[in-house]
């Protein structure tokens, strides 16, 4: 195995990624005016996407997009904490410590939710910002969603790896 792909290096990569991601979240919650970042997703673009799905019979997608359109702040919490959950989980997953690997899901949720709570408390001291229990709920939902995505991807990658190795054994 190449040196840079050794498990200890992968663990370090995700540990640093988790720390940087947490710092990024802290930075965002330090901003008094987040409208600049909220404007990254143009509301007109969302309306155009919604109109495409309205006629397709995919009602659930239309409902989700309307929710995102009406609640961009909550959608951003969900998306940002989905990313945070992925890097946290992968940090635990690639640890050399069996306890971290075994409890990766639980630790991801505990660390992620505690960070969300601390982040909301921090945000309450920022001028022009306020804390919200609803934000913590959407952060937690993002963390749970990240675990579903990550678990699914790991299962798929293991299956592909087994399939490849089965083919080589013949």
Nearest to 71 by CA among 149, 147, 134, 129: 134
Whole-number pLDDT of residue 145: 93
Question: By residue range, what is the domain housing residue 8?
Answer: 3-37+72-169
What does the pLDDT read at residue 33? 72
Q: How many residues does the chain have?
A: 170
pLDDT value for 164 = 81
Q: Does 46 reside within a domain?
A: no
- Which are the contacts of 7, defined by CB distance < 8 A and separation ≥ 6? 94, 96
Note the pLDDT of residue 71: 73
Q: Averaged in consecutive runs of 10 residues, what is the pLDDT profile of the chain (170 residues)?
A: 63 95 93 65 60 64 66 84 96 92 95 96 89 92 94 86 72
> What pLDDT does residue 61 have?
63
Whether 131 maps to a domain, the answer reads yes
Neighbouring C-beta atoms of residue 128, cutoff 10 Å: 8
Sequence-ordered list of residues with C-beta below 8 angstroms from that of 85, at least 6 positions apart, any chain: 108, 112, 142, 143, 144, 145, 146, 147, 150
For the chain, what is the domain count? 1
Distance, C-alpha 39 to centroid of its chain: 20
User: According to the model, what pLDDT value does residue 151 have?
Assistant: 87
Which pLDDT belongs to residue 25? 95
Q: Is the pTM of this model over 0.75?
A: yes
In a domain, 67, yes or no: no
């Amino acid at each position: 195995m190449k040196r840079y792909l050794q498990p200890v290096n992968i663990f370090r990569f995700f540990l640093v990624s988790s720390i940087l991601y947490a710092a990024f979240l802290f930075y965002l919650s330090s901003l008094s005016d987040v409208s600049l970042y909220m404007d990254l997703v143009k509301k007109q673009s969302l309306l155009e996407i919604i109109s495409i799905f309205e006629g397709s019979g995919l009602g659930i997608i239309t409902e989700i997009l309307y929710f995102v359109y009406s609640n961009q702040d909550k959608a951003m919490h969900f998306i940002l904490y989905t990313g945070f959950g992925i890097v946290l989980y992968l940090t635990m997953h690639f640890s050399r410590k069996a306890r971290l690997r075994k409890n990766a899901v639980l630790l991801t949720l505990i660390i992620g939710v505690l960070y969300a709570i601390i982040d909301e408390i921090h945000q309450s001291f920022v001028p022009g910002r306020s804390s919200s229990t609803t934000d913590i709920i959407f952060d937690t939902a993002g963390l749970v969603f990240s675990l579903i995505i990550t678990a699914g991807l790991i299962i798929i990658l293991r299956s592909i790896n087994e399939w490849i190795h089965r083919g080589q054994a013949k």
